[in-house]
Structure 1
Amino acid sequence: MQPIRHPQKDFFVADILDAAPKDDTASMEHPLFALKAGDKRVRTYERNGVKVVVKPGADGCATIHDKDVWIYCISQMVEAMNRGRENISRTVRFTAYDFLTVTNRPVAGVGYQRMADALERLKGTTISTNIETPGYRKRGGFGLIDSWEVIERGQGDKMVAVEVTLPDWLYRSIESKQVLTLSRDYFRLRKPLDRRIYELARKHCGKQSHWTVQLDTLHEKTGSTAILREFRRVIRDLVESNKLPDYLVEFDDGSDMVTFYPRNISFRLK
């Protein structure tokens, strides 16, 4: 008989308040998350031999703001692994309040409701892909989370603690440390497209002094539905505002090339 490669432990308690934000490199590279709420299109993305098909649930596709649940869970798990904990599983139990404060969300009722809505969209959105993860390259499908459950409720039926089970595909990426550290200011970015552009800059700059990309290629990588002329305006605004965390952005109108430079080349990359 084959050995059990991924034994399912009961759950992992996310209780590390100072965990640095982490994101998995595969979802940073490919536009798995929608840039606007209520998007019910079936989206297909193909590049360099990788094909991703994103299918919405009843409430639409999970958005890049919904991805905060992924980032929170990944951050907790990686930090726990770095501290030598052994009780790590792909089912993560956390308090709603901790999640809301770490991700810079309101802790009033609207924050809890938005979190519940995000969990519904994450559960409903499905991905079909041939993305390679350590030890695996096969075509398959999965939900952005396998399941979620309210463990404890407070006054007014407000959720206090929840459990989220991440897909096995994502869990393998976390185990093999296929992750990158994000700026804590990532959670302060309000515009979905700014978040997506930051992800791409973080993924592609890596330890390099800069990353230069053609505007139409960047447009495709973001998954933006804006026409290229409108996307060009967004990039110009981003250059002028100079508010992208960790990176300076330059845009050459003549060549339509966008270049990202780390603000501090020695900032902690791992």
Structure 2
Amino acid sequence: SPIGSCFGVTSHLHFDRHVQRDFFVADILDAAPKDDLASMEHPIFALKSGDRRVRVYERKGVTVTIKPGHDGCATIHDKDIWIYCISQMVEAINRGREDVGRVVRFTAYDFLVTTNRQTSGEGYRLMGDALARLSGTRIETNIETAGKRERAGFGLIDSWRVIERDRDDKMVAVEVSLPDWLCRSVKAMHVLTLNRDYFRLRKPIDRRLYELARKHCGTQSKWCVTTKVLHETSGSRDALRNFRMAVRMLAESDELPDYRITFDQENDAATFYARSPKGAIAQIRDTLRSLQK
């Protein structure tokens, strides 16, 4: 069951809130979800809401400093707005539009439906909170985008504004200005397609693990990584033992979109197998090798 089981075990996936979509909206939502490679590789977004710490991440010559705003750090759930805007930009580029810039205008309802959020007043309020955190969170980094590496600071979004409200003062249309750094990355097509079920993942750590698997495994048959490295690249602030448990729970649920996870206790490592014929073959071969030891 997507909500739970008869034994009271909660699924890692939310139920699909918008299975019955009207035809007009479904046509608008055809743009495949896209994410930028840099933010998939590096832990820019907080995994816990209310995080007000300055976070510094350094790995392989890349430094990222994340500074919270008045409303706290933007979370990985807030990143849905980034993903939605990136998706709209890529779709426009693929359709040959030449006016694609860093200002993206969209309807709030379409965003809420695409990202599997509630379309009640609470859904609109939470969207406004996410926009405020994205605008307030500041990043300083030397990540290279589109062949350009520079030390730069910017907000996760430069600005946002409501350009239309309904008679209940609920936001209808929104305009978001993305940072140049992200715009360069998107125009260089440094993006990857996400499974739509990404938006159904409940836990922030599950979303982050999916991002890392999508970035490092991609369409290969498998990706092996030690728990220590996975913990570091995830940006998790949990103790390593708690993080290890989270990975094992996700592996046992077998609910991660696109990938299966196996956990090697002896080597303290995880292997992500693509849910594809070659991924299944790789998993069978690895299982047979372990049995022969």
- Identity rate of aligned residues, in percent? 68
Q: Aligned residue for 2:165?
A: 153
Q: Aligned residue for 1:247?
A: 259
User: Relative to structure 2, which stretch is displaced further, 51-60 or 202-211?
Assistant: 202-211
- Asked whether the equivalents of residues 86 and 186 of structure 2 are also in contact (C-alpha less than 8 Å), the reply is yes
Residue of structure 2 aligned with 1:141, choices 149, 153, 156: 153
Cα distance in 2 for residues equivalent to 1:218 and 1:167: 28
- Asked whether the equivalents of residues 112 and 158 of structure 1 are also in contact (C-alpha less than 8 Å), the reply is yes
Q: Aligned residue for 1:11?
A: none
Q: Aligned residue for 1:101?
A: 113
Structure number with greater Rg is 2
Q: Aligned residue for 2:126?
A: 114
Give the AA of the match of 2:212. L
Asked whether 1:233 is paired with 2:245, we answer yes
- Asked whether the equivalents of residues 260 and 273 of structure 2 are also in contact (C-alpha less than 8 Å), the reply is yes
Give the AA of the match of 2:76. I
Residue of structure 2 aligned with 1:215, choices 222, 227, 239: 227
- Asked whether the equivalents of residues 16 and 76 of structure 1 are also in contact (C-alpha less than 8 Å), the reply is no
Using structure 1 for the length normalisation, give the TM-score.
Answer: 0.92
CA drift of 1:56 comes to 0.1
Asked whether 1:176 is paired with 2:157, we answer no
Q: Aligned residue for 2:273?
A: 261
- Asked whether the equivalents of residues 22 and 72 of structure 1 are also in contact (C-alpha less than 8 Å), the reply is yes
- Asked whether the equivalents of residues 55 and 125 of structure 1 are also in contact (C-alpha less than 8 Å), the reply is yes
Runs of 5+ unmatched residues, structure 1: 1-14
Residue 234 to residue 87, structure 1, CA distance change in 2 (3 Å) = same
Cα distance in 1 for residues equivalent to 2:141 and 2:34: 22
Q: Aligned residue for 2:81?
A: 69
Cα distance in 2 for residues equivalent to 1:47 and 1:208: 23
Cα distance in 1 for residues equivalent to 2:277 and 2:115: 25
Cα distance in 1 for residues equivalent to 2:177 and 2:276: 36
Cα distance in 1 for residues equivalent to 2:277 and 2:49: 35
Q: Aligned residue for 1:58?
A: 70
Cα distance in 2 for residues equivalent to 1:35 and 1:138: 26
Cα distance in 2 for residues equivalent to 1:83 and 1:127: 31
CA drift of 1:264 comes to 1.7
CA drift of 1:76 comes to 0.9
Q: State the superposition RMSD in angstroms.
A: 1.3
CA drift of 1:237 comes to 0.5
Asked whether 1:29 is paired with 2:41, we answer yes
- Asked whether the equivalents of residues 144 and 166 of structure 1 are also in contact (C-alpha less than 8 Å), the reply is yes
Q: Aligned residue for 2:3?
A: none
CA drift of 1:84 comes to 1.1
Residue of structure 1 aligned with 2:209, choices 197, 212, 233: 197
Give the AA of the match of 1:250. T
Cα distance in 2 for residues equivalent to 1:164 and 1:16: 18
Q: Secondary structure at the match of 1:18?
A: coil
- Asked whether the equivalents of residues 221 and 278 of structure 2 are also in contact (C-alpha less than 8 Å), the reply is no
CA drift of 1:155 comes to 2.1
